Chain A
């Protein structure tokens, strides 16, 4: 079972958001990368694009599957992790660190997200 770090927020679609003032860094969780397996491609938005909570903002592909990325927050993309173009495996090896996806300027207060304990409990119900 994956250990969700404390101090960041989690969505039911297995993305995380680390709030830093009026900005947030977004990524996929360890549970998500474990479910997908080896990640081979990450499609990200561009700086300046607008993200809406619960809406698709990109996709991630593994050897076996493809999955939409769902934004946990509303905001405008400030920066994308371009290192993932050539090294998407960082999402597997370090999903909460070097495997981050985008940094956004928040346009509203995040809602409906879980803390680490709640997310762990949620994952336990999804695992089989």
Chain B
């Protein structure tokens, strides 16, 4: 099966990126190297091709009430120009996807979903929304480019000749790039100050190359995207979140403030396992699927994500642990090659991120 191509795939190939299939798409894993790209994003600004992700428009009379019953997001407190993270749940409260809902007006929204889940999400939403509410898949027409890093705001302002210091964290605004519509959202997946940028599919390369003309910007692949998000303590769907686990098990029960009767609401607070954050001294990595155990004791869980953390100089991991054992401080990870001592820590792993920085 041949992979789908973003409007930037040819650019990546022409610029020496290592390419690999991801969620059905041919995506850049790295250009210069994961460590360089990771550090560049932490210190300056990284540019990410995220065109594979899905975007749906939801609008029409009753959209607010209907969407409130379809997803976990609390829309009652979501103002126009703001967006919010939350979940699409199954009837049992398991996570079908994690997604961001943008409010454009009283009954007008956009929802941004993971590429691997997009088709299932669309079907679930269509089933949950009444016929009078239009659900439109914008994915094939919408490019998504992330600009992330402490210098990202200066880069964006220099290119667009527009102030973005007034855009709050999880705020967004519609503007334009060279005559085309551009949605600028102060969100991201790196733990750094940054923007998720949506524009027409056929303008992606012009925008991408215009941003790269700024010497503060380097292209960054999915390899560094993964180490950046993990250090920031952000879960990856399919690894740290799945349809067998509830938001509460992932430590996100408290963000479920919606009073609407949404699908999966009761099960969303069910806890059988807990997602724990682990720090492992040294450089030998724990990886997805490794066994988690108590020291000298029985298996109590599984690693869901694990990597050497470039900004921390140690190894960090997420793991599902039997809820009765999640209070322990010390664990061991049994990898294919060795047994590693792991200590439970608080999130985020990397605490110096600029994501929430107040700009004015």
Residues of A that sit less than 8 Å from B by CB: 37-38, 40-41, 43, 59, 61, 63-64, 66, 88-89, 92
Contacts and interface: CB of A to CB of B under 8 A. Distances in A.
A63 B223 contact: yes
12 contacts: A37-B30, A38-B33, A40-B283, A41-B283, A41-B285, A59-B337, A61-B308, A63-B35, A63-B307, A63-B310, A89-B35, A92-B33
B148 interface: no
B216 to A, nearest CB: 22
- The interface centre, meaning the residue of B310, B337, B338 with most chain A CB atoms within 10 A of its CB, is B337
A43 B284 CA distance: 9
Given A37-B33, A63-B223, A66-B337, 6 more contacts: A37-B34, A59-B337, A61-B285, A63-B307, A64-B223, A89-B35
Nearest to B307: A63
Interface string B28-40: 0110011100000
Contacts of A43: 284, 337-338
Given A37-B223, A43-B337, A63 B283 contact: no
Contacts of A63: 34-35, 223, 227, 307-308, 310
A37 B307 CA distance: 14
A120 B227 CA distance: 33
A61 B283 contact: yes
A40 B308 contact: yes
Interface in B206-230: 223, 227
Contact of B285 (A37, A66, A89, A92): A66
A38 B18 CA distance: 13
A111 to B, nearest CB: 28
A66 B287 contact: yes
A61 B30 contact: no
